[in-house]
Amino acid sequence: MSVLTGKERRIVGFLCNWCSYGGADTAGVGRFVQPTDLRIIRVPCSGRINPLFIVKALLGGADGVLVSGCHPRDCHYAEGNFYARRRLEMCKNLLPLVGIDPKRFEYTWVSASEGQRWQHVVTEFTKQIHALPPAPVFPESPEIERLAACAGE
Amino acid sequence: MPGNKFLATADVAAWLGELSKTMRVFAPRNEGQAVVYREFDAAKGLELRRKPTESAKHALFPRSEELLSFSYLRPAFGAPEKEGETPSDVSQVQVKMPVEPMPTVVFGMLGCDAGSVTTFDPIYDGSKFKDVYYLKKRQATVFIVRACAEVLSTCFCNWVGGDPANTKNADVLATELSDGWLLQPVTERGEKALTSPLLKDAPAASEGQATAIHDNARKSLGDAPNLEGIDAALFSLFADNDFWQRQSAGCLACGTCTYLCPTCHCFSITDETSARNGVRLRSWDTCMASLYTLEASGHNPRSLKAARLRNRVGHKFAYFLRNNDGQISCCGCGRCIKSCPSSVDIRQIVKDALVQAASIAPPPPPQPVAPAAASPKPAAPVKGKGRTKEKANG
Amino acid sequence: MDDELKGAIRKVLPDVDCVIGWGPGPDPLRSAPFFMRKPEEVDAFVVGPLAVNNPAVFLPEYKGKKVGIVVKGCDSRSVVQQIAEGLVKREEVVIIGFPCSGVVDIQKIAAQLGQDIEPGMVTSLSISSDKLTVNVKDTAKTMDMADVRADKCASCQYPNAVVSDEFVGTPKEGKTDDYADLAAFEEKSIDERFAFWEQEMSRCIRCYACRNACPLCVCRDHCVATSREPHWLNQADSTREKLFFQLIHATHLAGRCTGCGECSRACPVGIPVGLFKRTMTRAAARLFDYQAGTNAETVPPLQTFATEEPTIKEREW
């Protein structure tokens, strides 16, 4: 068991390959200290992010979801992040209806050279998540609960 | 009749509470605008007047049921890898069976809901195949059927051999009188379930009162049309695409009718896995969905909703009959009509089918009159003709 | 108006495969979708507060054939959106519109009838302009139309068909939509909302009536909800999976939903699933000043973008 169990929250990050993933890499190379709660999933473009990825992660027990792409007008594919911005904003509007605090989801833009900015974003978002209680979890059906119990054995 | 018990209205919750100490007790209650069968919880109340929106079949046939669970075992730490062995080797899979079902009581189910059992038994407890998951639940479940005092305009149990005070496959028949419930045991199992001190011996007059209520409900159902020959009619219309397209024009091809139906019994089996572990689930399937018949090749023999509606009606009023001694696999509860978002009416389809079939085929020659002991059952089915393969029950 | 509408339908009939409208239903409180092919069939046409179903849901099935359709204002918005998205060709549909004064919600009638009487016990009914009288056995019960009218009708902006080839009757004044239903729901705290859906979705039977009744759910037999690859949903009887489907439906209808309310109405167990789509509709109106189904020439907001989005307030880190 990790020493961070109970102290760490589960935050899922969807980062675009061209800017934000590079930005996170830059932060790493620059040895900027960051919280360790974030688990990064690399995607080709923020336009690839289906809002359902975010919803699925949150309903699956993630405490927070962070999406980051290239700055508007800087998309590697010219307009992927423009579409993403509209979708993600709509998604943010849907979450509170379901009973998920909209603060659990943020999206932002970080370029490959902005290592320091990445450090700032991760630190701030992680703080924001830690200020919230752990994510509410739906009771699993007994069948799937059994599955989870197997995994723990 | 000896054995009849009386339960005061005020004691119903107390009795169910007492039963739920040792058994799983399903009873109808209000949830939102629906009436559903749930495990009894005194705090959440009971609904014993309005007709349940859903059937009680999930007591025997859950929406999703664990058939088994499995884990691929990790090799012991440091154990040398054996050549040619993969994690999917059967020897390395640990399989667990689900826990045994608890003894169960379904209280206050409708007479038509007991029709589930009439249809399920020949399939899951057939001469060729026995389904242990079903059988264990069936043997552990007591059905307390509530006689209907009122019927709805969508009720038609009398068309298909049902009755507002149906006792077929019931263990106890419960009738609400002015100040309580008369509980009449039908089977030995039912008698054994009625042992609580809260249950008093029923006063002599109560049986007569109950019978009057039953007769009244029977009368309000009206006359049933003669459905004789419905199976032959549906078989003759099997290729009448125009007929089925007209009937299904308003159908949305959702699964409301089949999932609320007490007698629909089709399922799908899937493995739901996570890392090295998985559960094999049996979950409800519906012939109204295109996926039901989609083949691995991509071909779908029932790609149109007309063919799917034909299957639903055909299975209830023709195919099942021919395999099961003329038993219609519709119990006439009317839920598919009442809850259909598009108001599709199976009664009308059946009536139209009889008319349509009569219009295309000359009436069959009169059958020789059987000897005096003529059976009330519909004419013996024609074997080996036009048999249709079914999905779940083969 | 009934006879004028029937006249309009008969006039259209020779040019089309069928005219979709409403006909007699299985009980006095319900009509059913009705497909008229012959002039004599038009006699049974039903219109008024019982013309509840949205006939637009059937239109995409008739692609390649010319059909007529009788629409209320809300139904016409679905048709407009279907045309805007290329699901239906304008030249393949003849639209007959009329001013709608609202339809009934059978669940509200049920509530008015009380605990001991079910809608299924109603033997007949009569409707006047503002009253609805039902007969149950020997007793009659009169209720105010305002109490049994569907929620969507209270905030109906378009009682008249938005687009029509034939319009029968005098157009009615629309109301404004202030999203009062969402505001009422949002009085619940975040935690209460979560608990609410946990309770409501638990009785979902996964029949997908909400999806199939939706005139803009176009994937039909290829819905991601029933796909194994990608495997968005498993087959467990789990509240989370059921809720997740509603979120799939809502995100796929974001900025496209015309608010016909069929998803909620179709639900056999009465889950208010329309709230999810209403939320998205309000967001589309606020963010992109877009109202689906009002203009077939516009592009749905999520299928386009602007380089500057003044209404989107991004996080300032």
pLDDT tens column, B185-233: 999 999 999 999 999 999 999 999 999 999 999 999 999 999 999 999 9
- Yes or no: say if B106 and B137 are a contact pair by the CB < 8 Å rule: no
Crossing angle for the helix pair A80-98 and C274-288, to the nearest 10 degrees: 130
Higher-scoring residue by pLDDT: A28, A144? A28
Asked if pLDDT for residue B81 goes beyond 80, the answer is no
Asked if pLDDT for residue B373 goes beyond 60, the answer is no
Query: What is the domain partition of chain B in residue ranges?
Result: 5-63+101-220, 230-269+283-360
**Chain A CB within 8 Å of residue C289 CB:** no
Position C315 scores a pLDDT of 82
For chain A, positions 70-99, list CB contacts with chain C under 8 A.
72-73, 79, 82-83, 85-87, 89-91, 93-94, 96-99
Mean of all residue pLDDT scores within chain C: 94
- Yes or no: say if A112 and C291 are a contact pair by the CB < 8 Å rule: no
Secondary structure of residue B264 in the 3-state scheme: coil
Report d(CA C127, CA A22) in Å as an integer: 68
Report if residue A30 sits inside a domain. yes
Across the range B261-281, mean pLDDT stands at: 92
Asked if pLDDT for residue A1 goes beyond 50, the answer is no
Position B376 scores a pLDDT of 45
- Among B70-79, B118-127, C194-203, C232-241, where is mean pLDDT lowest? B70-79
Name the phi and psi angles at B57, rounded to 5: -65, -20
Q: Which residues are paired to A110 by β-bridges? A: none
Mean of all residue pLDDT scores within chain B: 88
For chain C, positions 229-258, list CB contacts with chain B under 8 A.
234-238
Asked if pLDDT for residue A150 goes beyond 80, the answer is no
Radius of gyration of chain A (CA): 16
Report if residue A48 sits inside a domain. yes
Name the phi and psi angles at A89, rounded to 5: -65, -40
Position C2 scores a pLDDT of 87
For residue A98, give the CATH number of its domain.
3.40.50
Position A102 scores a pLDDT of 94
pLDDT tens column, C159-203: 999 999 999 999 999 999 999 999 999 999 999 999 999 999 999
Report d(CA C104, CA C140) in Å as an integer: 18
pLDDT tens column, C226-245: 888 889 999 999 999 999 99
Query: What is the domain partition of chain C in residue ranges?
Result: 1-102+157-174, 106-148, 178-317
Across the range C275-297, mean pLDDT stands at: 95
Question: Which residue among C35, C212, C238 places its CB closest to the CB of B254?
Answer: C212
- Among B4-13, B154-163, C218-227, where is mean pLDDT lowest? C218-227
Position C229 scores a pLDDT of 86
pLDDT tens column, B18-27: 999 999 999 9
Q: What letter represents residue B20's amino acid?
A: S
Can you spell out the DSSP letters for B233-253? HHHHTTT-HHHHHHHHTT---
Report if residue A39 sits inside a domain. yes
Asked if pLDDT for residue B87 goes beyond 70, the answer is no
Report if residue A87 sits inside a domain. yes
C-alpha angle A57-A60-A63 in degrees, rounded to nearest 5: 65
Report if residue A74 sits inside a domain. yes
The verdict on a CB contact (< 8 Å) between A98 and C193 is yes
**Chain B CB within 8 Å of residue C75 CB:** no
Would the pTM count as exceeding 0.80? yes
Name the phi and psi angles at C134, rounded to 5: -115, 145
Report d(CA B11, CA A150) in Å as an integer: 43
pLDDT tens column, A7-26: 889 999 999 999 999 999 99
**b or e along B160-185 (b: 16 or more beta carbons within 10 Å of the residue's beta carbon)?**
bbbbbbbbebbbbbbbbbeebbbbbb
Across the range A136-149, mean pLDDT stands at: 70
- Measured CB to CB, residues of chain A less than 8 Å from chain B are 141-144, 146-148, 150-151, 153
pLDDT tens column, C71-128: 999 999 999 999 999 999 999 999 999 999 999 999 999 999 988 899 999 999 999 8
Starting at the earlier edge strand, list the strands of the sheet with C31-36: C31-36, C19-24, C67-71, C93-97, C166-167
Query: The domain containing residue A120 runs over which residues?
Result: 11-152
The verdict on a CB contact (< 8 Å) between A144 and B279 is yes
The verdict on a CB contact (< 8 Å) between B64 and A141 is yes
pLDDT band at B121 (very low <50, low <70, confident <90, very high): very high
- Measured CB to CB, residues of chain B less than 8 Å from chain A are 64-66, 69, 71, 98, 272, 274-279, 281
Asked if pLDDT for residue C137 goes beyond 60, the answer is yes
Position A65 scores a pLDDT of 98
Q: What does DSSP assign to residue A59?
A: H
Residues of B in Cβ contact (< 8 Å) with C271: 32
pLDDT tens column, C15-67: 999 999 999 999 999 999 999 999 999 999 999 999 999 999 999 999 999 99
Report if residue A2 sits inside a domain. no
Report d(CA A46, CA A78) in Å as an integer: 11
Position B79 scores a pLDDT of 57
Position A147 scores a pLDDT of 62
pLDDT band at B385 (very low <50, low <70, confident <90, very high): very low
- Yes or no: say if B319 and B329 are a contact pair by the CB < 8 Å rule: no
Q: Domain C106-148 falls in which CATH fold?
A: Nuclear Transport Factor 2; Chain: A, (3.10.450)
Q: How many residues does chain A have?
A: 153
